[in-house]
Structure 1
Amino acid sequence: MRPDPSPADLFGPLLAKVQERAILPDGKTFVDALPKRPVAEIMRDFAGLAPGDDALRAFIADNFDLPATTETAGRTASAQPVRARIGAMWKELARAPDDLVTGGSALPVQHRHVVPGGRFREIYYWDSFFTMLGLVRDGELELANGIVDAMTDLIEAHGHVPNGTRTYYLGRSQPPLFHMMVELLDDRRPDVAARRLSAMKREHGWWMAGTDELAPGRCAARGARLADGRLLNRYWDPRDTPRDESWREDVATAAKSGRPAGEVYRDLRAGAESGWDFSSRWLGDGTLASIRTTAIAPVDLNAFLFGLETAIAASPDAEAGRYARLAEQRRDAMNRHLWDAEGGYFADHDIDSGALRTPLTAAALAPLAVGAATQEQADSTARVVASHLLAPGGLRTTLVETGEQWDRPNGWAPLQWIGVAGLKRYGHDALALDIASRWVDTVGATFARTGLLFEKYDIEAATVGSGGEYEAQIGFGWTNGVTADFIDGYALLPSGK
């Protein structure tokens, strides 16, 4: 048994049956449930359970405390102006410290923190940075520091920040933005700064594990040494099984693929680690069954790791010089393998073919956000963004419609902020303001109609987003944080007030 067993480790055949029979409408519900008695007793009785879905439903009800199918936070339509509603929602999305519950999937969190909302009942890694933007704007520094302290705890306990604070997320992380959280709070107390710096170094080591002796043309976990010897990173998960929380969906996807099931499962898990779950960025022929995330070196992941290396290099650490060299080596690899000179923007690299994946996506702006681009690259990227990625309601995610939620027509708060931050960094203030204004108007107009804030938006039609494995969630942490940051930073007045 693994030291932090997931529900699949604990309840294997029971979990598979519950998920594959769709006994509960949302696969995340069962894996977030709490067993009412010891796991061994539950599994012993399950082995003798009568066949049939009704018997299984009754068994689940008798043996598990299920979470509410939807969080109450944010579900009541508000008559407040949108900015006031965002400020009021922090107390609804805030959670007290959580202790470890035997048999449950929740990881302990020893600090007050904020969750995204809806089905997302726990801390999520990259969501949290964008949520913190709003917390800082609203003076909720205790909550913001609680999030960073929780992230620090997780890195010290596991070597990385998991995708979310659940045991079933431990095999994967998310875009590494911990260094940006540390920079946002800029806490210079020596003991706090030293602990967070140590966590940044440990997280970097986790992403780079196995790469020191990696031969050209070979991969090791999240590292890929290209044929010319340059090193880039990719997303990865050591497990090659269906995701606990999306078991039924993953089994169905693998069945359609014509590929070894374990290979598909690992690519799905890696896609979830990317935060872009799921997108045409990771697909071969445009269908989810063709997903090949582990064969791609993503531009945004490498940009954020450049940012991490640069942050450590700027610290008083004795190894700062080594991290400065690593950052320059990564910048060189990005210029060689992630810059599309003909198109004039950054893109992903196909590890298998050694070629650039040329479709334009909002990830092209990540190198600008962390300062990895030259001024000429930033100027070219800004022209391309203005011509192709600027939608009526904000920044497009991709130019492709697949039905996956990280594709057109959906727009996402984190990508708006990354784009705006990157453009501002290189002096493209007017375009940055245009994107921020369009996004705030989209959120504001939808809020005026519904009184609610959503996880994602259709930025072509200025309405609620769709697609993916679940309906658009209400809450919602990163939408609130980014929208508050734009409204306050640019003194914007959203549509519908």
Structure 2
Amino acid sequence: MNFLINIDKVFHELLLQEDTDKDKKITKDDNGPKKFALVDQNTKQEIVIEGTYHLSNLLQELALLKENKVDKGEIDLSRIQENPVERISRKIRDDYWDELTRTIDKKGLEQILKDEKTTNEVPTLYVSAKDKQGVAYFQALEKELQNFKVGILPENFSMEYVDTLNTKPGILALALEQKIYSLQGVPFVVPGGRFNEMYGWDSYFIGVGLIIDNQLDKAMAIAENFKYQIIHYGKILNANRSYYLTRTQPPLYSSLIIEIVKKKVPSLEWLRSHLGTVILEYNTVWMVQGNRLTPTGLNRYKADGVGMPFEVEPGHFDDVLEPYAKKYNLPIREFEKQYLNRTLVDAELDVYFVHDRSLRESGHDTTDRLINTCANLNSVDVNSFLYKYEKDIAYLIKEYFNNNFQVGDVTYTSEEWGQKALFRKEKIDELCWNEESSMYFDYDFVNKRQFPFEAATTFFPLWAGLCSEHQAKKLIEIALPQFIKTGGITGSTKASTDSFSKDAPQRQWDYPFGWAPHQMLLWEGLINYKFFNKAQEMVYRWLWLITKNAVEYNGTIPEKFDLEISSHKVFAEYGNVGTEFDYIAKEGFGWVNASYQYGLQILSDNLKQELNKLTSPDELF
């Protein structure tokens, strides 16, 4: 049923009555009557819209019509009365992925360059000298558009060279593809909000969501840009920005290839190209002794570069810098400036920032698990990911290449990759598994002991499939309950967080915060080990939280949640992305969008019905 109304008039009347806190949204925090009458201009028929959720849906639909310059138009009542689960999923599938899609080419460059993190007077795009086609394309575009400049990265740049870019940071070019009439950028999907570039591990989870929503071409495009980064920048980057050339991200390239192949093998040549690049990344990024490979035979996160990470806002490290500012008898802002610019060097502080940069490479920025220790740890997360690489490579060689895969002069077989995986599993069991605690802990290979911080990464081995049945049972029966809150699992246990100073900043990857990647990897791990009922429960908990938050807060889908209060209102370092918008959420947040679509693939029909009623998980489980 449709109602013909004066869009602008109803829009302003609705806001005046219901948006009592004037934040350009209708939420549970507003104190309006939560009841609004719509009158059809032709038939004079009246319908009353009631409740926060339906009124916010009305506001969103009006905002869309206003954006399309509709003065007098029809409101579709079915959209206002749509069930929450169907509405959230539909908007992710039909709207949010497109809103988050970017290209680096003539059409998409302006959107990429108008970024709040760009500090140059004239935005800069850096292109690898290896990419001859890209250099020619962007240099021609620079002359045509004259609103940005092109910098050329040397073919074999050093980390010292990368440091020189800190005073002139910019975006890094990604892959181009030849279309019928022109070169165009290979698309990628950004996380959202201030994260307007291609992020490493975010892109894997986003790819999972895209594949579910039948956007296989975009997932394949993400893989193409992974390959481009390895070839031209030496690694899959934290993000495609110049100061991220010093660090990679959690290795999930092979997992994306597996997800694509499960849906459809694009071609044997496509698979050959990507498998070769996965092996190249494994060998050159992860398995170089003394860098990310350690004497134990296991791996660590280990970023390059020295000193403070360039992207962090002034004041972020005040608790760390304050004693050093006193040591040099400088005001803290002046010390920060001199240290950042390397006109003042302190060896002890440099060591702290080796760990900090490595922590950011892990994707867990920040957590007390990794503060001032990350580069010393054979972390459970990176070794789970690399075990999955080894198993994935073995599988692909066996299934698609007759157990014989050539990269340059080297021939690989499935068996040798299986042996690599077996060695890694044995070392993880030896160094990281703790039978008494029923958890995996990171291993400090410098001090030769486990680091007993209870983190959600303890469940990553379930996802990777490296647990024994005994270990899986203990993880799920003993460890998992320590992480569960109403809306999912927290980044760490409260006990581990409480062991750190109460004066330290609240770390966003620790208790009480909940993140989509932790939930998604846990769900798949539970399914791997046939804990199907527990998987249903954990999916329901997280989807209930997303749904409840969207219903109560005008469709908001944020980056993360505070699970202690089941809310997107996060008061920790960095705040929360995806919560700032006027009238209508346009994009959600990448991996939370993906977690919703992935969770709905798992959830039973009867639990979806409970989700639409917003039945609390604590009443069901």
Q: TM-score, normalised by structure 2?
A: 0.62
Unpaired segments of 5 or more residues in structure 1? 1-75, 212-219, 284-290
CA contact (8 A) 1:440 1:495 kept: no
The CA deviation at 1:170 is: 1.2
Q: Secondary structure at the match of 2:418?
A: helix
CA contact (8 A) 1:445 1:495 kept: no
Which of 304, 315, 318 does residue 252 from structure 1 map onto? Answer: 318
The CA deviation at 1:386 is: 3.7
RMSD: 2.1
Which of 152, 173, 194 does residue 119 from structure 1 map onto? Answer: 194
| C-alpha distance in structure 1 between counterparts of 2:197 and 2:219, whole Å | 15
The CA deviation at 1:481 is: 0.5
In the other structure, the counterpart of 2:216 is 141
Give the AA of the match of 1:84.
R
In the other structure, the counterpart of 1:308 is 389
Query: Per the alignment, do residues 116 and 394 of structure 1 end up closer, same or farther by CA in structure 2, a change over 3 Å counting?
Result: same
Give the AA of the match of 2:206.
T
Q: Is 1:486 aligned to residue 614 of structure 2?
A: no
CA contact (8 A) 2:100 2:189 kept: yes
| C-alpha distance in structure 2 between counterparts of 1:440 and 1:182, whole Å | 26
Give the AA of the match of 2:562.
D
Q: Secondary structure at the match of 2:423?
A: helix
CA contact (8 A) 2:506 2:573 kept: no
Counterparts in 2 of 1:6-25, with a 5 A limit? Answer: none
The C-alpha deviation readout for 1:350-408, integer Å capped at 9, x for no partner, is: 12221112232110111111111111111111112442111110012101446110011
Query: Per the alignment, do residues 341 and 257 of structure 1 end up closer, same or farther by CA in structure 2, a change over 3 Å counting?
Result: farther
Q: Is 1:86 aligned to residue 101 of structure 2?
A: no
In the other structure, the counterpart of 1:454 is 558
Q: Is 1:476 aligned to residue 598 of structure 2?
A: no
Identity of aligned residues (%): 26
Give the AA of the match of 1:298.
S
| C-alpha distance in structure 1 between counterparts of 2:459 and 2:225, whole Å | 28
Which of 544, 564, 568 does residue 464 from structure 1 map onto? Answer: 568
Counterparts in 2 of 1:224-239, with a 5 A limit? Answer: 224-226=294-296, 231-239=297-305
The C-alpha deviation readout for 1:283-331, integer Å capped at 9, x for no partner, is: 3xxxxxxx22111111011010011111112213231333222211111
The answer to which of 240-249 and 453-462 deviates more is: 240-249
In the other structure, the counterpart of 1:387 is 481
Give the AA of the match of 2:427.
A
Give the AA of the match of 2:373.
R
CA contact (8 A) 1:393 1:461 kept: no
Counterparts in 2 of 1:333-482, with a 5 A limit? Answer: 333-400=427-494, 401=497, 403-450=506-553, 451-464=555-568, 466-474=570-578, 475-482=588-595
Q: Which of structures 1 and 2 has the bigger CA Rg?
A: 2
Q: Secondary structure at the match of 2:369?
A: helix
The C-alpha deviation readout for 1:318-352, integer Å capped at 9, x for no partner, is: 31333222211111110000100111121111122
Q: Is 1:319 aligned to residue 412 of structure 2?
A: yes
The CA deviation at 1:159 is: 2.6
| C-alpha distance in structure 2 between counterparts of 1:319 and 1:129, whole Å | 26
Q: TM-score, normalised by structure 1?
A: 0.77
The CA deviation at 1:467 is: 4.6
| C-alpha distance in structure 2 between counterparts of 1:327 and 1:159, whole Å | 24
| C-alpha distance in structure 1 between counterparts of 2:373 and 2:318, whole Å | 16
Give the AA of the match of 1:300.
D
Which of 150, 155, 167 does residue 102 from structure 1 map onto? Answer: 150
The CA deviation at 1:256 is: 4.1
Q: Secondary structure at the match of 1:225?
A: coil
In the other structure, the counterpart of 1:36 is none
In the other structure, the counterpart of 1:59 is none
CA contact (8 A) 1:365 1:419 kept: yes
Unpaired segments of 5 or more residues in structure 2? 1-62, 65-78, 110-124, 126-148, 152-168, 176-185, 325-346, 406-410, 498-504, 579-587, 615-621
| C-alpha distance in structure 1 between counterparts of 2:272 and 2:480, whole Å | 41
Number of aligned residue pairs: give it. Answer: 403
CA contact (8 A) 1:267 1:294 kept: yes
The C-alpha deviation readout for 1:25-46, integer Å capped at 9, x for no partner, is: xxxxxxxxxxxxxxxxxxxxxx
In the other structure, the counterpart of 2:159 is none
| C-alpha distance in structure 2 between counterparts of 1:392 and 1:409, whole Å | 11
Give the AA of the match of 2:89.
R
Counterparts in 2 of 1:133-212, with a 5 A limit? Answer: 133-186=208-261, 187=265, 189-211=267-289
Give the AA of the match of 1:472.
N
| C-alpha distance in structure 2 between counterparts of 1:336 and 1:407, whole Å | 26
